[in-house]
């Protein structure tokens, strides 16, 4: 299992320092959150890329339907090249308008439209990352062929790894996940809505994860992509005290099939985030 750290604060300078500190202390990935009116995560990760040599860098997560795919392609390509091919793109639908903080500049087009935008954007990104002429025609986006002023291609092959949020056991959502490179779980039993983090923590168990992972592996076999690397992401909080209890929590998820543990604590007050993050990152991953 690999270990990543999610910085829940907003100061880009602190984030860049933390990325370097995380690399020094044995973490495998460093992630920042992406808002709507917020610190630009890709500028922050670009700076982190030139301060680090090994650690993977990414967002947790990018609301892809809110973004112009060609602009996101340019940002991710830039960080991928600056980092020597260490970028991960975590992609989701974005929150609904029940979270008004994220819809102060526009109206929510609804989950169905956001899902359509996500699918077209992910298809477009893979074409845009090649830095070659192409044409595209979709319901929401189109691209005319051009061979002028083309950007350089990404470093990673066949694409920057794309981790996708998928609601288990919703088949349409999970089939989207299976096409790409990793699963960010959201547990949404049939008959219920998508729940918040606290409810997720209470109801989503390693046993449920194992069932979902088995389904995903079977679907990837059906799609003919079972031989490609595929990550299972699990986010959570440990103390950082090196205890057997912390290691046992993470191993339970690893035994279920998770390949990444993302350490986060979204409950830390804003004025305490830097101190907490520096302390937790310096303590290293829960399993060394």
Question: pLDDT at position 196, please?
Answer: 64
The gap between the terminal CA atoms of the chain, to the nearest Å, is 10
Q: Are 177 and 231 in contact (CB under 8 A)?
A: no
Dist CA 122 CA 221 (whole Å): 21
Q: Which of 161, 159, 160, 206 is nearest to 183 (CA)?
A: 161
This prediction's pTM: 0.96
Question: pLDDT at position 201, please?
Answer: 72
Question: pLDDT at position 197, please?
Answer: 64
Question: pLDDT at position 198, please?
Answer: 67
Contacts of 31 (CB under 8 A, 6+ apart): 4, 5, 6, 7, 57, 58, 59, 60, 90, 262
Question: pLDDT at position 100, please?
Answer: 84
Residue 285 backbone class (left: φ over 0; alpha: ψ -120 to 50; beta: rest):
beta
How do the pLDDT tens digits run along the chain, 288 residues long?
Answer: 999 999 999 999 999 999 999 999 999 999 999 999 999 999 999 999 999 999 999 999 999 999 999 999 999 999 999 999 999 999 999 999 888 888 999 999 999 999 999 999 999 999 999 999 999 999 999 999 999 999 999 999 999 999 999 999 999 999 999 999 999 999 998 877 656 666 777 889 999 999 999 999 999 999 999 999 999 999 999 999 999 999 999 999 999 999 999 999 999 999 999 999 999 999 999 987
């Amino acid at each position: 299992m690999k270990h990543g750290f999610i910085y829940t604060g907003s100061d880009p300078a602190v984030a860049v320092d933390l990325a370097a500190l995380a690399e020094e202390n044995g973490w495998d990935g460093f992630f920042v959150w992406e808002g709507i009116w917020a610190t630009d995560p890709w500028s922050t990760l670009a700076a982190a890329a030139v301060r680090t040599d090994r650690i993977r860098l990414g967002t947790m997560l990018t609301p892809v339907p809110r973004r112009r795919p060609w602009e996101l392609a340019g940002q991710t390509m830039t960080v991928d090249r600056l980092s020597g091919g260490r970028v991960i793109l975590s992609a989701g639908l974005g929150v609904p308008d029940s979270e008004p903080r994220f819809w102060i500049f526009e109206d929510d087009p609804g989950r169905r439209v956001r899902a359509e935008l996500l699918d077209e954007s992910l298809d477009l990104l893979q074409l845009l990352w090649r830095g070659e002429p192409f044409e595209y025609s979709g319901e929401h986006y189109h691209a005319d062929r051009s061979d002028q002023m083309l950007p350089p291609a990404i470093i990673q092959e066949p694409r920057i790894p794309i981790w996708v949020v998928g609601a288990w056991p919703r088949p349409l959502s999970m089939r989207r996940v299976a096409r790409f490179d990793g699963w960010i779980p959201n547990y949404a039993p049939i008959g219920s809505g998508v729940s918040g983090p606290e409810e997720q923590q209470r109801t989503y168990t390693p046993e449920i994860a194992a069932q979902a992972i088995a389904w995903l592996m079977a679907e990837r076999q059906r799609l003919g992509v079972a031989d490609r690397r595929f990550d299972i992401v699990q986010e959570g909080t440990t103390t950082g005290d090196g205890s057997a209890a912390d290691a046992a929590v993470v191993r339970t998820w690893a035994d279920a099939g998770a390949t990444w543990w993302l350490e986060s604590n979204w409950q830390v007050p804003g004025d305490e985030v830097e101190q907490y993050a520096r302390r937790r990152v310096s303590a290293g991953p829960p399993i060394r």
